[in-house]
Structure 1
Amino acid sequence: MPDPSTLVSAPTTRRSVKDLKLGESATICCLEDPEMALKLLEMGCIPGTQVRLNSRAPLGCPITLVVGEHCDYTLSLRVSEAATILLK
């Protein structure tokens, strides 16, 4: 398992998972929040992994992601968690 502290970036204006449109795919660049990084890494949100926004709840939270290039699994996240996953 990678060390979470090496995968965390300084805050930027990059797009995050919360900014994806339904059906849109992107590749994870890095994780913005050091406190959330370990949890996200354990859930498979590893830099270099492709994600696709699958659904968004009626009030916007939670969102559902398909993680992995070959639709490996589905993951539900709070929007606040998704905002910490930065995209390439």
Structure 2
Amino acid sequence: MKFLSELSVGSESEVIRLHGKGANKRKLMDMGITKGTKIKIERFAPLGDPIQLKLRNYSMSIRKKEAENIEVK
């Protein structure tokens, strides 16, 4: 298994599965992160948190803890 938090800047991947439960999982899905979504890592903040992503033609940031729940291939 590989998670979004393990990728480097410029990497592109596809979401396989969202781990986690309840409100945290729902929040990711509400932001457009669902199975099959293509995601590109744009940059990391200086201390590695948050992570800026590009998906579905827009940019967004998520916390590293949230990225650890996104399984990618």
TM range (shorter): over 0.9
> After the TM superposition, which segments of 4 or more aligned residues of structure 1 sit over 3 Å from their partners?
none
Q: Equivalent residue for 2:60?
A: 75
> Which residue identity is paired with 1:32?
H
TM value normalised by structure 2: 0.94
Between Structure 1 and Structure 2, the one with more strand by share is: 2
Query: Which runs of 5 or more structure 2 residues have no equivalent in the other structure?
Result: none
Within the alignment, does 1:44 sit opposite 2:29 as a pair? no
TM value normalised by structure 1: 0.78
**Secondary structure in 2 matching 1:26:** strand
**Count of residue pairs brought into register by the alignment:** 72
Query: Which runs of 5 or more structure 1 residues have no equivalent in the other structure?
Result: 1-13
Structure 1 vs Structure 2 CA RMSD: 0.8
Aligned residues with identical type, % of pairs = 32
Bigger CA radius of gyration? 1
